[in-house]
Amino acid sequence: MRNWGPALALALSVSLGGCVQTKQYADVQFTLPQGDYKLLVLRPDVTVGSLTTGGMVEPRADWTEQARANIIAALRAQQAARGGNITIIEHRSEVPGVPAQELADVERLNYVVDQAIVQHKYLGDYLPTKRGRGLDWTLGADAVKLGQQSGYDYVLFLHAEDQVASTGRIALGVLGLAGCVVGFCAPNVGGAEQLDYASLVDLKTGEVVWFNVVDAASQVPGIKFGELRTPEGAAQMIERLLGRMKPGQAVQRAEAAR
């Protein structure tokens, strides 16, 4: 008698639900933006694709545009509730007083700094020099200059990628689950996955004051956890990514002591 029952049960319980993880870091002195702050959001970097049967991600133009529109709407609603003045630009030339090339430079610099943050805060290459110092990265003088030229207090960079399991991928997952019956169990071929991250830069100091990553993945194709193609999915993503922003450690300690 084959002993596949427990394996199947375990596989089902572990992976059927999918998995949503978030982990945020903040500058130790970071306080949540409050009052009448001016926030600039550079064109959110969004890609939505279809996960093919073989596991490749095929970008889809229509889904991406739809998702971007949903995200922008959700972001406006979320910020309106906070009371800030938000400007979301579509093109680099849309910030008065700032040449497009200079904005592009800040955007590229931020991209590289974000990569460093992910490398050293999330992927395990922790730096001993930054231990216990919260989020300790800066975009430097270029970001300060951007703030002076544009009059904004903060700039928010937003990245979202979402892959939707295709029918073929779902079928492959079903096949993998069905295999458990004969002893070849492959329920975890991998399904839809969403990766989002955001970084907030204080334009008075140039420092990256807050960073957050949301990774939502399902091992079994066909399980969904909020697609960016739908307004509800986009609102859920914005809530997960930006809704639970916490102040820095020093600020939290001071509040606790009071």
Partner 1 sequence: MCARCLELTRRSLLLGGGAAAAALHTGIASARVRPADMVPLIGPGFRPTDKDEQGLWHEMDRVEEEIAGSNLLITDPKLTGYLRDLIGTVGGPAAKDFRIYLARIPDFNAMMFPTGFAVVFSGLLLRMRNEAQLAGVIAHESGHFLRRHMIRSWRDERRKTDIFSIGAMVAGIGGAGAGVYLGDYVQLAQLGTILSLFKYSRDMEAEADAMGARLIAGAGYDPIEMATIWLQLIGEERSSASYRGKHRQHGSIFDSHPSDDARMADLRADALDLKVPGKVYDNHRARYLATIGPIRQMLLDDQVKLNDPGASEFLIETLAQDGWDGLLRFYEGEVWRLRNRKGDDVRAAQSYAAAVVYPDAPADAWRWHGISLMKSGRSGEAKAAFSKYLTMKPNAPDAAWVRQMIG
Give the alpha-carbon dihedral of 222, 224, 230, 234, to 10 degrees. Answer: -150
Which of residues 58 and 232 has its CB atom nearest to partner 1 in the complex?
A: 58
C-alpha to C-alpha distance for 40 and 198, rounded to whole angstroms: 13
Shortest distance in whole angstroms from residue 54 CB to partner 1: 3
**Helices 61-82 and 231-238, axial angle in degrees (round to 10):** 50
How far apart are CB 233 and partner 1 at their closest, in Å?
19
Q: C-beta of 170: minimal distance to partner 1 in Å?
A: 12
Give the closest residue to 219 by CA, choosing from 193, 175, 188: 188
Residue 46 to residue 121: CA distance in whole angstroms: 23
Nearest to partner 1 of 33, 191 (CB atom):
191
Specify the residue, 91 or 244, whose C-beta has the smaller distance to partner 1: 91
Closer residue to partner 1, CB minimum distance, 23 or 91: 91
Q: How far is CA 238 from CA 70, 94, 167, 184, 235, in A?
A: 10, 24, 27, 39, 5
Q: Which is nearer to partner 1, 134 or 176 (CB)?
A: 176
Residues in touch with partner 1 (CB under 8 A): 47, 49, 52-56, 58-62, 64-65, 100-101, 104, 108, 168, 172, 175-176, 178-179, 182-184, 186, 189
Count each helix (H run) and each strand (E run) in the chain, helices first: 7, 9
- Please give the Cα distance from 121 to 200 (Å, whole number): 16
On whether the CB atoms of residues 156 and 78 are closer than 8 A, the answer is: no
The nearer residue to partner 1, 187 or 248, going by C-beta atoms, is 187
